Amino acid sequence: MTVTAVAQSADVTVTAMLGVQMQTAHVRVVGATELPTTVTISPTDTAIAPNASQVFTVTLDIPAPAGGTVVALSVNPANAGTLPASVTIAANQVSNTFTYTDGGTATTATVTATLGGSTSNATVTISTGANHLVLNEVDYDQLNTDNAEFIEIFNPSGAAISLVGKQVILINGSGNAIYDTIDLSPAVSLPSHGYLVIAGAGITVAPPAHKIDPGWTTNAIQNGPPDGIALIDNTAHTLIDALDYEDSTTAPTMTSVDLPGFAAPVSLVEGAVLVASDSNTVTGSLCRSPDGQDTDNANSDWKFCATITVGAANQ
């Protein structure tokens, strides 16, 4: 069905009916002389390695008019990095991208997009500590049936990392028993600032992110309390990263977990126990904030994110 606009309107309700069933949609009709007034930038919070780059998206509230719309760009401190002075959003489009590159002079920077009186800011944190793969986002609990679970792995380092011999192990906090092991070797390697998603057929991952499908359908990742995830090197038998979720903050139970081939038990608790948790009443996930941050303190590195960003930078 094609709907043709005939007059400017802030809200037009389009209704489709079949028998007693009815569905509605809301359409805004932009006036011929109406111009965009608001700009937003995303992601709003990200972490990159020194001298690395981050692609940002600027979005208008309505499509750009004929000739396009120019959005001014800036960074503070001014010498923190480089970016174009502006980005043009083409006619009839609402967004465009630009690249910010760190200059190696600051630990944090604020990137600003400006359109008239509208401004939108993004914080860039320069991460120097994480030179290894990290568990970056986990969605283990959804509304109603858990049928869209995933685990996202991120490479925050400045070079590709081999995935040969790497595994993700899921541990039941009741007795610390392993209930699933996912081999990452089929993905071969993860490029610098690349994402790898472990998920079933119900999750779509946009390139350049990679995906491994273990055949998950429903209830693949346990909801706790508590449960844990270990990212390991099964060749060197070392723990690369871990997440202990929905554990007790006063008496955590996942501090001594036996993993196959390891000489001694390992702790899945990094620093202070994570207080945030996933939800089955509000859409969202657990994610590192800013993206890729790993200070070895779970309660400061992780939060509940209302926006799910599978295979992309956390917001």
Residues 200 and 283: their CA atoms lie apart, in Å, by 18
Residues 153 and 311: their CA atoms lie apart, in Å, by 8
Q: What share of the chain is helix, strand, coil (3-state, %, to 5)?
A: 0, 45, 55
**Which one-letter amino acid corresponds to residue 19?**
G
**Which one-letter amino acid corresponds to residue 294?**
D
Give the pLDDT confidence score for residue 131 in this predicted structure: 80
Cβ atoms of 108 and 77 within 8 Å: the answer is no
pTM for the predicted model, two decimal places:
0.66
Give the pLDDT confidence score for residue 117 in this predicted structure: 96
Tokens of 143: 């509304």
In the three-class reduction of DSSP (H, G, I as helix; E, B as strand; rest coil), residue 285 is classed as: strand
**Owning domain of residue 197:** 134-305
Query: Residue 266 carries which DSSP code?
Result: B
Say if 115 falls within a structural domain: yes
- Write the burial class of residue 197 (CB in 10 Å: 0-12 exposed, 13-18 middle, 19+ buried): buried
Residue 119: give its domain's CATH number.
2.60.40.10
Tokens of 194: 């690349």
Residues 237 and 166: their CA atoms lie apart, in Å, by 10
Give the pLDDT confidence score for residue 122 in this predicted structure: 95
Give the pLDDT confidence score for residue 6 in this predicted structure: 81
Tell whether 118 and 138 lie within a shared domain.
no
Residues 39 and 275: their CA atoms lie apart, in Å, by 34
| Average pLDDT by stretches of 10, the chain with 315 residues | 80 87 86 91 83 91 96 96 97 96 90 97 77 95 95 90 97 96 97 95 94 97 96 96 96 96 96 96 94 90 96 90
Residues 156 and 171: their CA atoms lie apart, in Å, by 25
Radius of gyration of the chain (CA): 22
- Nearest-CA neighbor of 110 among 139, 73, 138, 137? 73
Express each pLDDT in 118-168 by its tens digit. Answer: 999 999 987 655 689 999 999 999 999 999 999 999 998 878 999 999 999
Tokens of 131: 């030179």
Say if 114 falls within a structural domain: yes
- Write the burial class of residue 85 (CB in 10 Å: 0-12 exposed, 13-18 middle, 19+ buried): exposed
pLDDT > 70 in the chain, percent: 99
Say if 17 falls within a structural domain: no
Say if 254 falls within a structural domain: yes
CB burial string 15-45: b at 16+ within 10 A, e below: eeeeeeeeeeeeeeebeeeeebeebbbbbbb
Tell whether 106 and 205 lie within a shared domain.
no
Tell whether 287 and 141 lie within a shared domain.
yes
Tell whether 158 and 238 lie within a shared domain.
yes
Residue 188: give its domain's CATH number.
2.60.40.1260
Instruction: Give the DSSP H/E element, type plus range, for residue 60.
Output: strand 53-60
Give the pLDDT confidence score for residue 127 in this predicted structure: 67
Instruction: Look at strands 45-48 and 118-126 and give their pairing.
Output: parallel
Tell whether 178 and 211 lie within a shared domain.
yes
Q: Which of 126, 146, 165 is the last residue of a domain?
A: 126
Say if 171 falls within a structural domain: yes
In the three-class reduction of DSSP (H, G, I as helix; E, B as strand; rest coil), residue 299 is classed as: helix
Say if 27 falls within a structural domain: no
Domain total of the chain: 2
